[in-house]
Amino acid sequence: MAASNMKAVKLRMRSIESTMQITRAMQLVAASKLRKAKERADATRPTFKVLHDTLVDIAVGNTDFESPYTDANANEKWLYVVIAGDRGMAGGYNANIFRKMAELTEGKKFDVLPLGKKAVEYYRHREANIVTEAFAEVANINMGDCLSIADIICDAYKKGEYGHIAVCYTGFISMLTQRPSSSALLPLSDFWNKVEQVVEAEPVRNLILYEPTSEEVFDAIVPQYLAALVYTAKNESVASELAARRTAMDAATKNAGEMLDNLSLYYNRARQASITQEITEIVAGAEGT
Amino acid sequence: MATFHLQIVDLDGLVFDGQAQQVSCRTIHGDLAILAHHINYCTAIAVGKAAVVLEDGSRREAACVGGMLTMIDGECRLIANTWEWTEEIDLERARKAKERALARLEDPNLKEKTREAAALKLKRAELRISLAEKK
């Protein structure tokens, strides 16, 4: 075994070691951030459920109002709010959400409102029509930003620029499972149609009193509802990203450890072989004299 | 007094889930109180003081900003953008927010949208201060 080969192995080992340090650090950072993100996602879940239940109740009970938000307009164009990560190194997290989007948008005309650097980069690269890049850092998005997003969506929808608006995000199912999914935002009928299939068996409709009028109530509620929906989706996505990163970096650290074990075994063997060879040479030389 | 099931949520999670005698808040239409056996009802909430009378008759006040209030089949749900019980209000922070909002409103070249946002901020801060100082 040549000495130069041993040096190469040593170099390789050192490089793997430093990579392993990085992956381990990233895993630890993701794990500690994940706890907080998970708490936040868990906290918003009851809000979302109550909001959803309420809107379903209204949809079921309602027979007689018109709002620009409730009925689909004729426009075929879709707007997708896509929530991806700010960084890579999270296994299939970003790729999965883009694959889901590709599936959803097949054959449709659509614009995107990307949240997260990766989403902005992806759609800029594909020259998709981007509504705004103002929300590129998904980690820093707060409720105020979600309200601005909801305003943008509502304005565009009221102007008739889009026929349907939906959000595409990653649902946090458990620490080990995250699933890309999508949810309708506007018109509200997109969202209610699904519900009505379930409750069709119940023919009695409750009347609800709206004050001052159903239109005014809806104009005030819908932007807030959309903001809450986007906020929930964002919280789920951030938790998913961190969970995905933790898992990916855990696997990377384990792999690096394995490689290191194999290489050090190889290196030690090579070292032993070179010593043995040297001794053999010396002994042979001594015998020769 | 008769009670009803009340759920209050804000965007940071569930705030209250239990029986109550009365809940009151400011809606876009004016102040409003809900008692048990109210008709099915739905309205949007503005910025204002809110109060809950609990099962035992004690009263808790809070600063409530935005959202909706529904009463459907005896179940009341109040979905606020933010909901802070009086005892949880950070008075220092509210005072600072008020100063900031006032300073911003003094700028004559302010855009319409930013002015509206600043005016809303001022209103929220003043609500918090008035509630927190009273306790």
- CA distances A93 to A60, A107, A127, A238, Å, are 36, 24, 22, 10
Q: Give me the residues of A, 50-69, that contact B with CB < 8 A.
A: 50-51, 53-54, 57-58, 61
Are A168 and A101 in a shared domain?
yes
Is the overall model pTM greater than 0.90, yes or no?
Answer: no
Q: Check CB contact of A76 with chain B, cutoff 8 Å.
A: no
Q: Which of A1-10, A96-105, B120-129 has the lowest mean pLDDT?
A: A1-10
Q: What is the dihedral of CA A81, A86, A89, A94, to 10 degrees?
A: 10
The C-alpha angle with vertex A202 and arms to A200 and A205, in degrees rounded to 5, equals 105
What is the rounded distance in angstroms from the CA atom of residue B63 to the CA atom of residue B56?
22
The CATH number of residue A266's host domain is 1.10.287.80
Q: Are A167 and A83 in contact (CB under 8 A)?
A: yes
Are A252 and A203 in a shared domain?
no
What is the rounded distance in angstroms from the CA atom of residue B118 to the CA atom of residue A123?
34
Residue type at A217?
A: V
What digits encode the pLDDT tens for the residues A183-219?
888 777 766 666 555 555 454 556 778 877 777 887 8
* Topology of the domain comprising B4-87: ATP Synthase; domain 1 (2.60.15)
Residues of chain B with CATH 1.20.5: 90-134
Q: Are B9 and A224 inside 8 Å of each other by CB?
A: no
Q: Which helix (H) or strand (E) holds B62?
A: strand B59-72
Q: What is the CATH number of domain B90-134?
A: 1.20.5
- State how many domains chain A has: 2
This complex has an ipTM of 0.74
Q: Are A51 and B79 inside 8 Å of each other by CB?
A: yes
Are A67 and A184 in a shared domain?
yes
CB contacts < 8 A (A, B): 88
The DSSP bridge pattern shows strands A129-130 and A110-115 to be parallel
Direct distance between the N- and C-terminal alpha carbons of chain A, in angstroms, rounded to an integer: 26
Backbone phi, psi, residue A156, to 5°: -65, -40
The winner for highest mean pLDDT among A20-29, A103-112, B66-75, B107-116 is: A20-29
Q: Give me the residues of A, 21-40, that contact B with CB < 8 A.
A: 40
The CATH number of residue A84's host domain is 3.40.1380.10
User: What is Dmax (Cα atoms) for chain B?
Assistant: 55
Would you state the pLDDT for residue A159?
A: 84
Residue tagged 């964002």 (tokens): A234
Backbone phi, psi, residue B42, to 5°: -150, 130
Q: How confident is the model at residue A249 (pLDDT cuts 50, 70, 90)?
A: very high
Residues of chain B with CATH 2.60.15.10: 4-87
